[in-house]
């Protein structure tokens, strides 16, 4: 019992209490939140898959014969496995300028982003999002989402483990993942992954710079606007574009 109280204190930030003072559902929430810290990569990928399924059900997904799907399939034809991870791609036919990737290898690209970007720029943005998966940032975001869900909903199952999330819990996790933001370091590392991905596969690395420059223009040079948070987090888009251009010059890929 002392261990359960300690878990509650660590995970929920509660003062030290006797178990008799704590509602049993809160104890279960603490256990579930603690378990979210210790999930395996396979479990995180499965919860990601479930959350993406729910997002797919809530958004207008372009059909296989849709021109947007056909364009995306042409762009990613060489990249259905990245870093050993199988990738599945779909288009959401909504006007948001956005894209995201989750720990199970799902990549979702929004119509608004496809309308704004060239093929090379789209690949650069997707490379950035896949970078978050390869760098395990998306795994950590999912664990954070599951911890929030466990605390908010008291218990994900009666067994003392997260178990199978309810539909409403999955919806909460999906909403969190869609708006998840990463640290400045994580964003820079994902930018570096995209740059290396483009360079390794013989693409123009400056497509990453021009994609950020377009995002800066669409968002008025700052945060918000038509560009959703996931593509306009720190550092700002103009600074990210300049960082790419500086690296390309150092690498001798563009003239001084």
- Specify which of 1-5, 72-76, 162-166 reaches the highest per-range mean pLDDT: 72-76
Q: Considering its fold, how many domains does the chain have in total? A: 2
Tell me the pLDDT tens digit for each residue of 29-80: 454 555 566 778 888 888 888 888 888 988 999 999 999 999 999 999 999 9
Residue 211: which domain range?
43-137+180-250
Residues 47, 101, single domain; the answer is: yes
pLDDT-based confidence at 175, cuts 50/70/90?
A: low
Which pairs with CB-CB distance under 8 Å and at least 24 residues apart come from 213-219? 213/237, 213/238, 213/241, 214/116, 214/117, 214/121, 215/97, 216/241, 218/97, 218/116
Mean pLDDT of 107-132: 94
Residues 56, 113, single domain; the answer is: yes
> Which is nearest to 127 in space by CA: 182, 53, 199?
199
- The more confidently predicted of residues 171 and 102 is 102
Residues 97, 192, single domain; the answer is: yes
pTM: 0.75
Residue 129 bears catalytic tag: yes
214 contacts 240 by C-beta, under 8 angstroms: no
Asked whether residue 154 is domain-assigned, the answer is no
The single residue of 121, 129, 189, 213 carrying the catalytic annotation is 129
215 contacts 98 by C-beta, under 8 angstroms: no
Residues 192, 109, single domain; the answer is: yes
Asked whether residue 77 is domain-assigned, the answer is yes
């Amino acid at each position: 019992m002392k261990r359960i109280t300690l878990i509650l204190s660590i995970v929920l930030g509660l003062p030290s209490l006797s178990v008799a003072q704590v509602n049993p559902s809160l104890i279960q929430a603490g256990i579930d939140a603690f378990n979210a810290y210790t999930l395996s990569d396979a479990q995180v990928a499965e919860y990601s898959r479930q959350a993406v399924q729910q997002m797919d059900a809530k958004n207008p997904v372009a059909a296989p014969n849709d021109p947007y799907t056909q364009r995306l399939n042409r762009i990613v034809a060489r990249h259905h496995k990245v870093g050993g991870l199988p990738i599945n791609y779909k288009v959401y036919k909504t006007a948001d300028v956005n894209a995201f990737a989750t720990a199970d290898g799902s990549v979702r690209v929004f119509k608004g982003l496809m309308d704004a970007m060239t093929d090379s720029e789209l690949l650069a943005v997707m490379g950035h999002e896949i970078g978050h998966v390869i760098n395990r940032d998306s795994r950590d975001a999912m664990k954070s989402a599951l911890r929030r869900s466990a605390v908010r909903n008291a218990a994900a199952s009666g067994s003392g483990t997260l178990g199978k999330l309810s539909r409403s819990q999955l919806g909460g996790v999906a909403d969190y993942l869609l708006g998840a933001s990463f640290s400045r370091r994580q964003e820079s590392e994902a930018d570096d992954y995209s740059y290396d991905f483009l360079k390794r596969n013989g693409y123009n690395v400056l497509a990453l710079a021009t994609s950020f420059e377009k995002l800066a223009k669409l968002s008025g040079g700052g945060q918000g606007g038509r560009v959703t948070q996931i593509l306009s987090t720190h550092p700002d888009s103009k600074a990210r574009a300049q960082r790419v251009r500086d690296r390309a010059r150092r690498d001798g890929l563009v003239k001084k």
